[in-house]
A and B are shown apart, each in its own frame.
Chain A
């Protein structure tokens, strides 16, 4: 069954904290399989102080991190991982391409779908959209491991 998590609920599922919780929501979650992360890009994000002064562009590396956070939650969802101290660690990044600039005012939809898995490793294919435009796409692998006693 598909589920959704709000930003507040995500803080209970991610080990990250401000300012590194990059998702504003996660919906259409099929545990262990797929989901769609939501990320609103705001000019008030401190990253724009330096990236770049007078020309705010959201860093591609943070698009990968946002996708990895979404995949981590999908991979360790309570319906597939009984031990809720488990978290998803980013293990590999493959063929990520950035096709258009992401700027303040954009709302990102980060579509994540499991491609292959083996043991505690799951590879997801990720497509980052603004409206109907694909702004980035690639794959990340998540390694499910024990958290640090959250």
Chain B
């Protein structure tokens, strides 16, 4: 039986938050992709999910509406991958941080 340490709980929380962000993006952008098949380190733009600048604005809108996270021009680095988005979300929105 797995011991439910604080570290384990945090890993589970992070796994679920990543999944929620993937579902929000894939659903919000109506992409023909299974959210579970998107790698958390996969690039969102270019050869990744092939998103464009209008999709970027929609991700900003989705993160604000679904997670209460506001992304500004200075934080464009967060669009690198789902993991970068969630790292930023946890850092900027304490309620999302499972620690």
Tally of contact residues, B, Cβ under 8 A: 13
Q: Which residue in B58, B61, B64, B73 is a CB contact (below 8 Å) of A119?
A: B73
Are the CB atoms of A118 and B73 closer together than 8 Å? yes
Q: Which of B21-64 contact A (CB under 8 A)?
A: 53-54, 56-58, 60-61, 64
Confirm or deny: A115 has a beta carbon within 8 angstroms of a beta carbon on chain B: yes
Are the CB atoms of B61 and A123 closer together than 8 Å? yes
A positions within 8 Å CB-CB of B: 91-92, 94, 115-119, 121, 123, 139, 141
Q: Which residues of A contact B61 (CB under 8 A)?
A: 115-116, 123, 139
Are the CB atoms of B54 and A91 closer together than 8 Å? yes
Measured between alpha carbons, how far is A115 from B63 in the docked complex, in Å?
Answer: 12
- What are 27 A-B pairs with beta-carbon distances under 8 A? A91-B54, A92-B54, A92-B58, A94-B58, A115-B61, A115-B64, A116-B57, A116-B60, A116-B61, A116-B70, A116-B71, A117-B57, A117-B60, A118-B56, A118-B57, A118-B60, A118-B71, A118-B73, A118-B76, A119-B53, A121-B53, A121-B56, A121-B57, A123-B57, A123-B61, A141-B54, A141-B57
B positions within 8 Å CB-CB of A: 53-54, 56-58, 60-61, 64, 70-73, 76
Measured between alpha carbons, how far is A139 from B72 in the docked complex, in Å?
Answer: 19
Query: In whole Å, how far is B72's beta carbon from the nearest beta carbon of chain A?
Result: 8
Q: Which residues of B contact A121 (CB under 8 A)?
A: 53-54, 56-57
Q: Which residues of A contact B64 (CB under 8 A)?
A: 115-116
Q: Which residues of B contact A139 (CB under 8 A)?
A: 61
Measured between alpha carbons, how far is A119 from B76 in the docked complex, in Å?
Answer: 10
Query: In whole Å, how far is A83's beta carbon from the nearest beta carbon of chain B?
Result: 18
Measured between alpha carbons, how far is A117 from B53 in the docked complex, in Å?
Answer: 11
Measured between alpha carbons, how far is A122 from B64 in the docked complex, in Å?
Answer: 14
Query: In whole Å, how far is A32's beta carbon from the nearest beta carbon of chain B?
Result: 13
Measured between alpha carbons, how far is A121 from B53 in the docked complex, in Å?
Answer: 9
Measured between alpha carbons, how far is A91 from B71 in the docked complex, in Å?
Answer: 20
Measured between alpha carbons, how far is A29 from B56 in the docked complex, in Å?
Answer: 27
Q: Which residues of B contact A117 (CB under 8 A)?
A: 57, 60
Measured between alpha carbons, how far is A141 from B58 in the docked complex, in Å?
Answer: 9
| Other contacts beyond A92-B57, A118-B72, A141-B54: 7, CB < 8 A | A116-B64, A117-B60, A118-B56, A118-B71, A119-B73, A121-B53, A123-B60
Query: In whole Å, how far is A99's beta carbon from the nearest beta carbon of chain B?
Result: 21
